[in-house]
A and B are shown apart, each in its own frame.
Chain A
C-alpha cells in the first residue's frame, strides 16, 4: 500500500522546488503551495480512515458484549421470578389443604358431638374438598399464565439484544482499504490536473 505521508511530503517537495525555481511566477508558486496542502490533506485523510476503522470495530465489539450481558441478566431474572412464583403457588395450595382438613375435622367432631350423622355431614365435607380443589386450580392457572408470559419476555429480550448488536456494523478490510485509497487517488488526480494546467501556461 502507498504511504500517504510519503506522497504528501513528495508533493510538498515538488511545491518547494517549484517555488525555488520561481520561473512560473508567484501564481505558479501559490498553486503549488495549494497542491502541497491538498497532499497533506490526502495523507491525513488516509490515516484518519485507518484509525476510524479500528475504533469503529472496537466500538462494535464492546456494543455486542454489552448487549449479550444485558440479555443474559434479563433472562436470568425472569427465570428467577417464575421460580419464585412457583414456590408461592405451592405454598398457597398447601395452606388451602390444611385449611380444608381442619374444617373437615371440625365438622366431623361437631356432628359427632351433636349426634348428627348421615348424608348431610358427608355432603358438608365434600363441599369443603370441592372448594379446595377449585382454589388449587385457580392458583395453577395463574402460574401457567405467568410462565407463558415469561417465555415470551425472554424472546423479546433476545430480539432487543439482536437489535442492539446490529445497530453497529464493523468496518471491513476492503472498505478500510478503499477509504484509504480514495483521498490518495484524488490527490493524484489533482496533482495531474494542476501539472497539466501549469504546463499549458508555460506553453
Chain B
C-alpha cells in the first residue's frame, strides 16, 4: 500500500477579496411645489394684457372723441372769429387764427429752407467724400443746431415746432443720411477706379525706365514695371472690380504716360499684362488705341522738330536783325560824316558776323550801302527821284536790306542829295519793325481813303487845263514831295498809329492846303464837275434824283415839242382851209 501524501489542502486555493463597492446615484431633483399665488399671478398677468388693450382702447376712444369735439369747437370758433373779422369786430391782426397761420407759414418756409440748405451742403461741401456714417450724422445734427441758432425760433411754441418744423427736419436729416450713403457709395465706386488709374499713371510716369540706357537694365526695368502692373490688375480682379473698366484705365494710363513722355516703347508693356485668358494688348480695341497713340507720338516728335527748326531760324533771324541794325547805324554815322573810324569798325564787325552766319550776300549789300553812304550824291535835290524813292521805300512791306539797296543805288547814281539820303535813313530807322520790315505809310498803301485822297490830289495836280495843256512834271513831283513831307511830319509826331479816319482827315487837310498852291482853278472846276458826276453815279439816291430830273426835263421838252407841232398843224390847216375855200368844198364825213 502506498503511503498517503500529506499536504496543505488550501495550498493555492485561498482567493483574495475582490472589490464589491459600486457608486450609486442618490440624486433627487428639487421640486417647486405649485403655489396658488403664483398661479393667480400668472393668470392675472395674462389677463392684464387683454385688460391693457381693452382699457387702452377705452382711453383711445375717449381721446378721439375729445379730439373730435375739440376739432369741431376749433372750427366753430374759427368760423366765428372769421365772421367777426369780416364784420370788423376783430382786427385782422388780432385774429389768433391768422396769427397762427402766419407762424405756421413761417415754420413751413423755415422747414423747406432747412431741407434745401442741407441738401445743398451735401453737394457744395462734398460731404459724401467722408465715409464715416457718424460724421454724416454729426454734421446733420450740427447743421440743425446752427440752423436753430441762425433762425430765431423763440417766437414759436414748442408744440408748433414739433408739429410743423421737427417732422420736416427729421425727414430731411433721414434723407440726408440716405443721400449721403448713396452718394458716398457711388463716389467711392468711382474713386476706386480713379485712384487705381492715378496710381498706375503716377508709378508709370515716375518709373525710371531707361536707367543707364543699358539694354539689359531697360529689359529688367520693363519686367519690374510690368510685374507691378500685373499685381495691381490681379488685385483688382480679386477684389471684384469691373475688368473692362480696369483694362480701360490701364490702357488709358499707359497711353497717356507714353504720349506725355513721347515714348512709344511704353506701349509695349500692354503686351506683357495678362488679363483673363489673354494679353491686354491683344484685343482689337487696344491695338487700335495703341496704333493711334503711336501715330500721335510720331506726329508730336515731328512737330517738336519743326518747332525747333523754327526756333533756330528765329534765333538766326534775330541775330541777322542785330547785324543789319548795326550796319544801318554804322551807315547812318558814315552818312553823317563821322570819320572817327568807329562806325567803320562797327560795320566791319557786323559784316563779319553776317558772313559768319552764312549771309554773305546780305553782307555784300550792306557793304555797298556803307560805301555809298560815304559818297556825296547829287548836289541838287531832285524831287522826282525823291518822290519815287519815297514811294518805293514806304509803299510796300520791304525789308531793311531792300531799302538799303534802293538808297545805295540812288546815291551812287546821284539821284538824291546826301541830305535827302540822311532824311530817308532817319525815316527808315523810325519806321523799322522788329521783323526788319519797314512799315508802309497809309497814303501809299492802296485800299484806304487816305491813299485815294493822295492819288486824287496827284491826278488833280497832273490834270490838263481847260485848254488841254499838260502840267509840268516838276510841279507834280514837287507837289508829291510836299504832300509826302507834310504827311510824314504829322505821322511821325504821333505816339500811336492813327486810325483810318484820322489818316483820311489829315490827307484831306493836306490836299486842300496844297490844292490852292498847285492846282489851276479851271482844272479844279472841271474836276469838281467830274467828281460830282462820280459822286452821283455812286450814290443811288442822287442817281435816282438826277434821273428824275432828267426825265422831267425830257418830258418838258417833249411837251414843248408837241405844242410846237400842234401849232404847225393848226397853221397848216388854216392855210389849207383858206386855199380850199377858193377851189372846192372839203369832203364831209357821213
Give the interface of A toward B (CB within 8 A).
Answer: 96, 99-100, 102-103, 106-107, 109-111, 113-114, 124, 127-128, 131-132, 134-135, 138, 141-142, 145-146, 148-149, 152-153, 155-156, 158-160, 162-163, 166-167, 169, 171-175, 178-179, 181-182, 185-186, 189-190, 192-193, 196-197, 200, 203
Contact = CB atoms under 8 A, between A and B. Distances in A.
Interface string B196-218: 00000000000000000000000
B4 A138 contact: no
Given A159-B25, A166-B31, A193 B9 contact: no
A133 B17 CA distance: 14
User: Which interface residue of B14, B21, B65 has the most chain A CB atoms within 10 A?
Assistant: B14
A196 B57 contact: yes
Which DSSP category, helix, strand, loop or mixed, fits chain A's interface?
helix
Interface of B: 3-4, 6-11, 13-22, 24-29, 31, 33-34, 36, 39-40, 42-43, 46-47, 50-51, 53-54, 57-58, 61, 64-65
B17 A178 contact: no
24 contacts: A106-B4, A113-B3, A127-B8, A134-B14, A135-B10, A138-B15, A145-B17, A145-B19, A149-B22, A152-B22, A163-B27, A163-B28, A166-B29, A167-B29, A172-B36, A173-B36, A181-B43, A185-B47, A186-B50, A189-B50, A193-B53, A196-B57, A197-B57, A197-B61
A125 to B, nearest CB: 10
A196 B64 CA distance: 13
A156 B26 contact: yes
B28 A162 contact: yes
Contacts of B27: 159, 163
Given A128-B8, A174-B36, A178-B40, 11 more contacts: A113-B3, A127-B8, A131-B11, A155-B26, A158-B26, A166-B29, A167-B29, A175-B34, A175-B39, A182-B43, A197-B61
A138 B17 contact: yes
Contacts, number: 126
B24 A155 contact: yes
A132 B54 CA distance: 91
A114 B29 contact: no
B6 A106 contact: yes
Contact of A193 (B20, B25, B42, B57): B57
User: Which interface residue of A106, A162, A185, A193 has the most chain B CB atoms within 10 A?
Assistant: A193
A109 B3 CA distance: 11
Contacts of A99: 9-10
Given A103-B6, A159-B28, A181-B43, A200 B21 contact: no
Given A128-B10, A142-B18, A193-B57, A174 B39 contact: yes
Given A166-B29, A169-B31, A189-B51, A179 B43 contact: yes
A171 to B, nearest CB: 7
Nearest to A165: B31
A149 B21 CA distance: 5
B21 A148 contact: yes
A193 B57 CA distance: 7
A186 B43 CA distance: 10
A189 B61 contact: no
A175 B36 contact: yes
A195 to B, nearest CB: 10
A99 B40 CA distance: 77
Contact of B6 (A124, A159, A167): A124
Contacts of A175: 34, 36, 39
A79 to B, nearest CB: 16
